[in-house]
């Protein structure tokens, strides 16, 4: 299959379910409308329509990995069922080309009374392999699943992790042209997840089209070529995984113009004098102007949202000696100071920080609720019109390159974080290293070579020809 061909084509897809208030209404719907039609009367409905999916169209090319993300109940699983053919569409059409393997709900397609080996053999045949081909691939499935003697035990005794191991092994060892995965990898342990993603990369290289549903924006950004955002049964956006992940976060937490306040209270342009002195000492002015975008490290492609009750106005990166810098040395200690203006009273503010790679992989993060420098700042109420500066201590043993910093201010409401102002990928950090290294982390590794001479000398007889 050529990489330009569409392995999956979805056109104006829709799925409608009939929702009944009681079993009696279901019986009425089966009988009464037919009688009404017989006597030429208007047909009455005893159900309400629920459109789980509506007017969805997209293509997936051979060799492409597409991530699907959205809130619970958005229609993601319904879409995968329609692609796999386990559900029939109410509108539109789905066309697939090649052998399709899927990991949907745990245990789907497995007979609970059959052993793992028997289920693997039957699944291979259902996927189009002949009897000889199925027997030939079983050792590979057993090796990848790595569930030991449970391979010959009934799967009704399996844990959820064992189900995933066996199902993933079957789906990938048959060399599919299309692989569909519905959040199943979240069940496996860390080692197995790494093993699965390694196998996914090999399938990608072979030209397999992969559709991956996940709530992990990190997985979507790292492993997918493209992402789709689905909400309320409709396709909201399609594009680069990083951009779609930001829109997904926007969808979950809501958005507002973080530069405009929503709360009343004190005049934010006249902060208290004690704040003025503190700000000046840290290198910030006492004004309420947003100077964030004027800093050399600012990333114009940032993604910002929040309810506007606080605004992140400025930042400054300093070395341990207090000098402001635009680049840091790998392994050195630095401090990031961030100026925040509160436009309403906040009882329990939480300040947070993320460090990511350029392609969106999360490297580290912290916040003042879970990682406070001092316990007294864990619950520090803030009044409207007050400035607050929070500090993030950085010890970055990173390899030379560029990284993205994200900042956030939220309110803790009974354990739930409500975003006030979040600036994702707002700072472009440059790390310089005097000693080149490979990978993401600079561990200060060195490699030495010694020329050695043996103390043993060969005997004369060994030299004879």
Flag whether 71 is in a domain: no
67 pLDDT band, cuts 50/70/90, is very high
Domain count, the chain: 1
Burial 441-457 (b: 16+ CB within 10 A, else e): ebeeeeeeeeeeeeeee
Q: What is the pLDDT of residues 29-44, one digit of tens each?
A: 888 888 877 778 888 8
Flag whether 308 is in a domain: yes
Rounded to whole angstroms, how far apart are CA atoms 369 and 365? Answer: 12
What is the residue range of 344's domain? 260-432
Rounded to whole angstroms, how far apart are CA atoms 167 and 264? Answer: 56
pLDDT at 82: 92
Rounded to whole angstroms, how far apart are CA atoms 367 and 385? Answer: 22
Rounded to the nearest 10 degrees, the angle between the axes of helix 160-173 and helix 190-206 is 20
Flag whether 126 is in a domain: no
Per-residue pLDDT averaged across 10-30, rounded? 88
Domain of residue 425, CATH code: 2.70.50.60
The three-class DSSP label of residue 312 is strand
Per-residue pLDDT averaged across 286-292, rounded? 85
Give yes or no for residue 452 having a pLDDT over 60: yes
Which of residues 132 and 261 earns the better pLDDT score?
132
Flag whether 164 is in a domain: no
Which of residues 408 and 442 earns the better pLDDT score?
408
Per-residue pLDDT averaged across 254-275, rounded? 38
Flag whether 167 is in a domain: no
Rounded to the nearest 10 degrees, the angle between the axes of helix 160-173 and helix 116-126 is 40
407 pLDDT band, cuts 50/70/90, is very high
Flag whether 356 is in a domain: yes
Which of residues 344 and 442 earns the better pLDDT score?
344
Flag whether 122 is in a domain: no
pLDDT at 14: 92
State the maximum Cα–Cα separation within the chain, in Å, rounded to a whole number: 116
Give yes or no for residue 16 having a pLDDT over 50: yes
Say if CB 227 and CB 66 are below 8 A apart. yes
Which of residues 273 and 57 earns the better pLDDT score?
57
The mean of the pLDDT values for the chain is 81
Rounded to whole angstroms, how far apart are CA atoms 147 and 162? Answer: 7
Give yes or no for residue 269 having a pLDDT over 60: no
The residue among 386, 398, 389, 408 whose CA lies nearest residue 430 is: 398
Flag whether 276 is in a domain: yes
């Amino acid at each position: 299959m050529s990489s330009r061909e569409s392995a999956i084509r979805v056109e104006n897809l829709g799925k409608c379910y009939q929702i009944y208030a009681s079993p009696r209404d279901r019986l009425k719907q089966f009988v009464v409308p037919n009688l009404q039609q017989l006597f030429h009367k208007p047909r009455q409905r005893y159900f309400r329509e629920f459109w789980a999916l509506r007017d969805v169209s997209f293509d997936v090319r051979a060799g492409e990995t597409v991530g699907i993300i959205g809130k619970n109940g958005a229609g993601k699983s319904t879409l995968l069922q329609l692609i796999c053919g386990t559900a029939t569409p109410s509108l539109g059409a789905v066309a697939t080309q090649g052998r399709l393997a899927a990991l949907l709900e745990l245990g789907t397609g497995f007979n609970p009374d059959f052993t793992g080996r028997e289920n693997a053999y039957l699944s291979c045949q259902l996927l189009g392999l002949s009897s000889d081909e199925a027997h030939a691939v079983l050792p590979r499935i057993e090796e990848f699943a790595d569930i030991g003697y449970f391979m010959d035990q009934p799967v009704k005794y399996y844990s959820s992790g064992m189900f995933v191991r066996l199902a993933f092994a079957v789906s990938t060892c048959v060399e599919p042209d299309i692989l569909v995965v519905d959040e199943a990898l979240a069940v496996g342990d860390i080692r197995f997840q790494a093993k699965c993603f390694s196998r996914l990369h090999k399938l990608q290289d072979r030209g397999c089209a992969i559709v991956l549903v996940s709530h992990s924006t990190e997985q979507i950004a790292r492993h997918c070529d493209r992402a789709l955002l689905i909400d309320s049964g409709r396709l909201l956006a399609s594009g680069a995984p990083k951009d779609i992940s930001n829109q997904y976060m926007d969808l979950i937490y809501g958005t507002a113009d973080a530069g405009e306040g929503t709360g009343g209270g004190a005049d934010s342009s006249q902060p208290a004098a004690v704040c003025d002195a503190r700000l000046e000492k840290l290198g910030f002015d006492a004004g309420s102007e947003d100077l964030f975008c004027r800093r050399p490290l600012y990333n114009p492609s940032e993604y910002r949202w929040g309810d506007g009750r606080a605004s992140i106005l400025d930042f400054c990166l300093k070395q341990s000696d207090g000098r402001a810098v635009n680049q840091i040395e790998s392994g050195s200690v630095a401090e990031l100071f961030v100026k925040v203006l509160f436009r309403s009273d906040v009882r329990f503010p939480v300040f947070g920080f993320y460090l990511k790679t350029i392609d969106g992989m999360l490297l580290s993060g912290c916040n003042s609720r879970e990682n406070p420098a001092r316990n007294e700042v864990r619950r520090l109420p803030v009044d409207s019109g007050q400035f607050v500066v929070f500090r993030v201590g950085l010890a970055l043993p990173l390899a030379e390159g560029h990284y993205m910093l994200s900042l956030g201010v939220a309110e803790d409401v009974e354990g739930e974080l409500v975003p006030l102002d979040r600036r994702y990928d707002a700072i472009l950090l440059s790390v310089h290293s005097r000693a080149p290294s490979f990978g993401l982390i600079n561990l200060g590794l060195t490699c030495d070579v010694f020329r050695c001479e043996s103390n043993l000398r060969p005997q004369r007889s060994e030299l004879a020809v």
